[in-house]
Structure 1
Amino acid sequence: MKFSWHYGKRRQDFEVPEPLYLGTVEGVAVDPLPDLNGALEEALKNPVASPPLRELVRPGERVALACPDFHRLWLRSGRWLPLVVRHLNRAGIANRDITVIVANGTHSPPRYAGLREILGNDFPRDVQVVNHDARDPSQLRYLGKTSYGTPLWVNRHALEADRLILTGGIVSHAFAGFSGGRKAVVPGVAGLKTILANHGRALSETPGGGIHERARPGVLEGNPVHEDMLAAARMLNPRFIINFVLSEEGDFLGVFAGELEEAHLKGCSFVSEAFRVDIPARADIVLASRGGYPMDLTFYQAFQASANAMAALRGDGDGVLIMVGECSEGLGPYEFQRWFGLGGEEEIERELRRDFTVAGFVVYRAALLHRSARRVILVSGLEPEVVSRIGVTPCSTIAEALEIAWKEIPEGKVLLMPHASQTIPAMPC
């Protein structure tokens, strides 16, 4: 059986013998929205647990919109951000009183071309755009500590606005349960110290224990990362959120607007149902990708799909996981080099507990995969010796990776997950 997958902006072709093909995990049972404009207007007029947006703002008030960054172009913000601004205009908010904060989190702020992709060609040029930089002290203001003890530093424009609106998209998230909602604050518009303290809660409380048992995809209750994010967002007191759910193909499936927690929870429930896909059995070999550009620009992004992929792999620790991502922009931020240079999981964890960073956690999570799989393979354009340092086998093609997997498990059955970050595998009841 022949297949062709997106790989960066290119494609890779490969074959799986029919007797070894277990199936493909993709697709949702939800029809695309026939009219995004109409669906967005309806969500803003009849939101979840909140008055309509136009009743929350007054002419002359300063309104800040936190929006997704360049690494989330799959949310197609250029399609809906101008619509939100026009809705505010009709509510009496002038463009000069609107500030869009690009919620970059720990990512590097995009340059002009990247901003145009985020905002869209129709975005009004007289709206102020702030490129959030978590490392720039001049942009940040201190709000105190969350109930978890996390020091909360946020972008001053978010704090100084009369009304703050959070926007984003909802998919399952590797350690926060789901993206969207409160994540526009932490990590979105937060300072680096805040982000690192929050994300550090994804580690087990016991040294050597790996990742916290509740810090995983689809889990909100008892998840310390999520609960701390929510506590931080409440301190900033956003008046409204607007979250979108998109299909693997980029079609809009739902719009969830309203109160910070209730609207987000409704969107998370929708995602849990929409992206849950029954699988015939857990596989000997799982081949997983995030669907190519722009979801696989870096190692960090490519490995975001690993948690869902592991849920489809045989549970005895004897399966083979193959991750696919071109990683055309390398590992990620420069500091990834240091973490890859540390070697195995024990060294990485020890350094993480001393000096937690997002890059270190990403590398640590990848290094831990060997606990649940016989072999982990990455198909990418990264230097092989770099990938090998954390116990991951490097390959340049999917075909090569499959050959290695079948040497490990002759006649191993293969399950394909071409959009693994947006598909949640589940055994049928």
Structure 2
Amino acid sequence: MTSTLAGDVREVALAYGRGRLDVALPPVCEPTVVRQRPLPPLPDPAAAVADALAHPVGSPPLAELARDRRSACILICDITRPVPNGLFLRPLVEQVTAAGVPLEAVTILVATGLHRPNLGDELAELVGDPWVLEHVRVENHDARDDAAHRSLGVTATRGTPVSLDRRFTDADLKIVTGLVEPHFMAGWSGGRKVIAPGVAHHTTIRTFHSARFMEDPRAVQCTLEGNPLHEEQLEIVRLLGDVYGLSTVVDEERRLVHVGFGEVVASHQAVVDVVAAAVRVPLGRRFGTVLTSAAGYPLDKTYYQTVKGMVTPLDVLAPGGTLIIASECSEGFGSPEFRAAQQRLATLGPDAFLATLVGKEFADVDEWQSEMQLKAVRHGRVELYSTGLAAQDHPLTAVRVVDDLTAAVQASMDRTGDRGVAVIPDGPYVVPVVG
């Protein structure tokens, strides 16, 4: 699962934008390149999808589930996730309509959370199938549209207000689709997370992302048990009744390596069980320098999403060490709300910024990403390499911006006295751990 490249390999290729960024390593460094355990790509993805729909986890086959239903809503992730929608959306729609659901009663809903809508060419790229775009209604969720949501009350455990998109709550057949990968707050992406925050009202999302959740030590990657976000999401699923999910796993080349379908919680857990052993990589030590990426396109389109790559490898960064991350940021910084939060962070400093968050019932939109960045800057030094971020935005990152990765690695080794460098080419899709 890991390969130590001491003295033989002098260059690494980090995921960056739509390609790779070659980085020359200093001659004296002792690099350990961290990659997930390879899962073989499926030889026939279409057959694998058909088999998953016919042999689900914890539910009847889709053809049987769709029988006698009047309407269906299928959730898909937004453009920030490389989900292979083109492989499974048409089979889902065709099986649902073959069972009797009118095509005009099928909605594909983009689970944007509080992200911007996906439109035009971007929507076509996201859906990945011209037939689906031509024949099926595809719409974006809008968390700020009060009238578009239905209240389901509050969760019993933590009192989170639950309000979800009516197109999903009112559908006779509810299907969630997505990608299962490590998530730096919710443990794992996909499944229940596509519902909340995916199609939740802004009050639900902003409660999830308040400091009482974000600062919980169990709100970390690869952790479900005791994770407050995961527990609230499970409670929201129970409020909805029957929900079904199709979960996918892709490799570094975005090829399908696993797919599962069934009852949304059980089928998601089954896929987590498959992928967990592949993405958690034990290293046995901490490093003074970690060189990583934001996972390339589409995750490194903005600085907002780049923060994920800062948090995921912290277990193997020695306290006071340097985390160096490469992210193209082809779309720049992110939302205006995130920019405002980063301005406050840069002005106030980490401690004073965090003090403004504690005790809030509803987090300000997108300030949670700034709060997650605090986890990295409290642990060590964070440095950013980016060719897409405007120079005037560099101060708003609240980290050190560098223009030479080789020199940055050398400077970190000089400062820490540790020649060991953990290199994580694919960023937050891989979770290095000490144990």
| TM score, norm. by length of structure 2 | 0.90
Give deviations 1:107-135, integer Å, cap 9, x for gaps.
11111212111212333323111211111
Structure 2: 5+ residue runs without aligned partners?
A: 1-9
Q: Alignment partner for residue 106 of structure 2, among 83, 98, 109?
A: 98
Structure 1 CA distance, aligned partners of 2:50 and 2:260?
A: 11
Query: Which residue number corresponds to residue 312 of structure 1?
Result: 316
The answer as to 2:303 corresponding to 1:299 is yes
Query: Which residue number corresponds to residue 283 of structure 2?
Result: 279
Following superposition, the deviation at residue 165 of structure 1 comes to 0.6
Following superposition, the deviation at residue 87 of structure 1 comes to 2.4
Q: Which moved more, 1:25-34 or 1:45-54?
A: 25-34
Q: Specify whether residues 363 and 427 from structure 1 end up closer, same or farther in structure 2 by C-alpha distance, changes over 3 A only.
A: closer
The answer as to 2:182 corresponding to 1:163 is no
Structure 1 CA distance, aligned partners of 2:260 and 2:365?
A: 28
Query: Which residue number corresponds to residue 179 of structure 1?
Result: 189
Determine helix, strand or coil for the equivalent of 1:356: coil
Q: Alignment partner for residue 379 of structure 1, among 372, 377, 385?
A: 385
The answer as to 2:421 corresponding to 1:401 is no
Structure 1 CA distance, aligned partners of 2:364 and 2:335?
A: 11
Query: Which residue number corresponds to residue 83 of structure 1?
Result: 91
Contact 2:288 2:412 in 1 (8 A): no
Following superposition, the deviation at residue 196 of structure 1 comes to 0.7
Contact 1:379 1:401 in 2 (8 A): no
Q: Alignment partner for residue 426 of structure 2, among 402, 416, 419?
A: 419
Contact 2:15 2:295 in 1 (8 A): yes
Q: Specify whether residues 194 and 253 from structure 1 end up closer, same or farther in structure 2 by C-alpha distance, changes over 3 A only.
A: same
Structure 1 CA distance, aligned partners of 2:66 and 2:177?
A: 16
Structure 1 CA distance, aligned partners of 2:38 and 2:17?
A: 27
Query: Which residue number corresponds to residue 340 of structure 2?
Result: 338
Q: Aligned runs of 1:21-100 on 2, under 5 Å?
A: 21-59=30-68, 61-72=70-81, 74-100=82-108
Give deviations 1:338-383, integer Å, cap 9, x for gaps.
111213122322332335135211112213323221x111112434
The answer as to 2:143 corresponding to 1:134 is yes
Q: Alignment partner for residue 194 of structure 1, among 200, 204, 217?
A: 204
Q: Specify whether residues 235 and 417 from structure 1 end up closer, same or farther in structure 2 by C-alpha distance, changes over 3 A only.
A: same
Contact 2:260 2:271 in 1 (8 A): yes
Q: Specify whether residues 36 and 67 from structure 1 end up closer, same or farther in structure 2 by C-alpha distance, changes over 3 A only.
A: same
Q: Which moved more, 1:322-331 or 1:390-399?
A: 390-399
Q: Specify whether residues 260 and 11 from structure 1 end up closer, same or farther in structure 2 by C-alpha distance, changes over 3 A only.
A: closer
Q: Which moved more, 1:84-93 or 1:136-145?
A: 84-93
Q: Specify whether residues 185 and 411 from structure 1 end up closer, same or farther in structure 2 by C-alpha distance, changes over 3 A only.
A: closer
Contact 2:111 2:141 in 1 (8 A): yes
Structure 2 CA distance, aligned partners of 1:142 and 1:290?
A: 36
Q: Which moved more, 1:393-402 or 1:95-104?
A: 393-402
Contact 1:285 1:321 in 2 (8 A): yes
Structure 2 CA distance, aligned partners of 1:184 and 1:128?
A: 19
2:383 aligned partner, one-letter code: I
Following superposition, the deviation at residue 171 of structure 1 comes to 0.7
Structure 2 CA distance, aligned partners of 1:163 and 1:251?
A: 28
Percent identity of the aligned residues? Answer: 32
Structure 2 CA distance, aligned partners of 1:11 and 1:167?
A: 28
Q: Specify whether residues 391 and 107 from structure 1 end up closer, same or farther in structure 2 by C-alpha distance, changes over 3 A only.
A: closer
Following superposition, the deviation at residue 389 of structure 1 comes to 5.1
Contact 2:112 2:142 in 1 (8 A): yes
2:326 aligned partner, one-letter code: V
Structure 2 CA distance, aligned partners of 1:264 and 1:201?
A: 27
When the two chains are superposed, the root-mean-square deviation of aligned CA atoms in Å is 2.1
How many residue pairs get matched? 418
Contact 2:303 2:327 in 1 (8 A): yes
The answer as to 2:295 corresponding to 1:288 is no
The answer as to 2:123 corresponding to 1:115 is yes
Following superposition, the deviation at residue 185 of structure 1 comes to 0.9
Structure 2 CA distance, aligned partners of 1:397 and 1:89?
A: 55
1:2 aligned partner, one-letter code: E
| TM score, norm. by length of structure 1 | 0.91
Query: Which residue number corresponds to residue 3 of structure 2?
Result: none
Structure 1 CA distance, aligned partners of 2:155 and 2:108?
A: 25
Q: Which moved more, 1:342-351 or 1:293-302?
A: 342-351
Structure 2 CA distance, aligned partners of 1:404 and 1:358?
A: 36
Following superposition, the deviation at residue 232 of structure 1 comes to 1.3
Following superposition, the deviation at residue 427 of structure 1 comes to 4.3
Structure 1 CA distance, aligned partners of 2:237 and 2:391?
A: 41
Structure 2 CA distance, aligned partners of 1:256 and 1:131?
A: 25
